[in-house]
Structure 1
């Protein structure tokens, strides 16, 4: 029997757990919420940790919005850039595959990554990515919530610019069923 939303949510950090509950509450029987249903005024405490991507092509995920905590952590405002351009070369292809899978299946994605920053600091960040569709029902947006863990340390060799998602620690993909409170089901780990 697949795990319930309570089991999946219990493994997430608090910020991501709250965001998953918000997103599930927007399903109302839909295969995924429409972007227009996401209302920032309903989740002001979560906004600093959110990032919104729009798929322009399978290799271009334009960052439409980056929350203030994300910008502060990165040291740059990535709004308007292709998310894939911010990645270390070794991370680009796996992240590109994951982002496309989220929209093509659709499914949700949670990962823990070790990020390196301009300052030389590293941190493990939990990233919850959830699909959104446009008004025509096309899956083309991903909204993510990021939560930095307490596991941080200094990297001895700082880069000239931040290297995001430098090392994948772990990841899972999961699906959901709408209309009944958003029960989750695992879609292939």
Structure 2
């Protein structure tokens, strides 16, 4: 198992947070992104819940980008762009739960189906073929240090992608 962590900042802060491995080496940064000042101001007024747009960089390269798709008549949806491993993959991450307090979704990526689930007060879990590959947690009170555990080393080249999925889906509801 490998452990990664980063500080979660309030929803409308745009300063990047370093993603650190278990040896405190920075493997990337995560930050909130706004397309313009007007959207940022509006998001501050609305408490940072509607204009969800995050970017994860590895050194100076954009690796992961997510943007909420706002539609009052549909469930929560996020457009994900992944630019890692010499490829660009785009897909939607859609809320799949029906009147339940447990967060549940699944998505297809690179030929595999990933299942994400998080019950209240528990770590979020990501599985592939019923095998737990990663867990993610954010505490309920400050300091808000997000922790990510990777159990399957064959997904090590996708750590920033997996952190981005957890962060996108579980920090904003």
Greater relative contact order (CA < 8 Å, ≥ 6 in sequence): 1
Larger % of strand: which?
Answer: 2
Q: TM-score, normalised by structure 2?
A: 0.33
Higher helix share: 1
TM normalised by structure 1 equals: 0.31
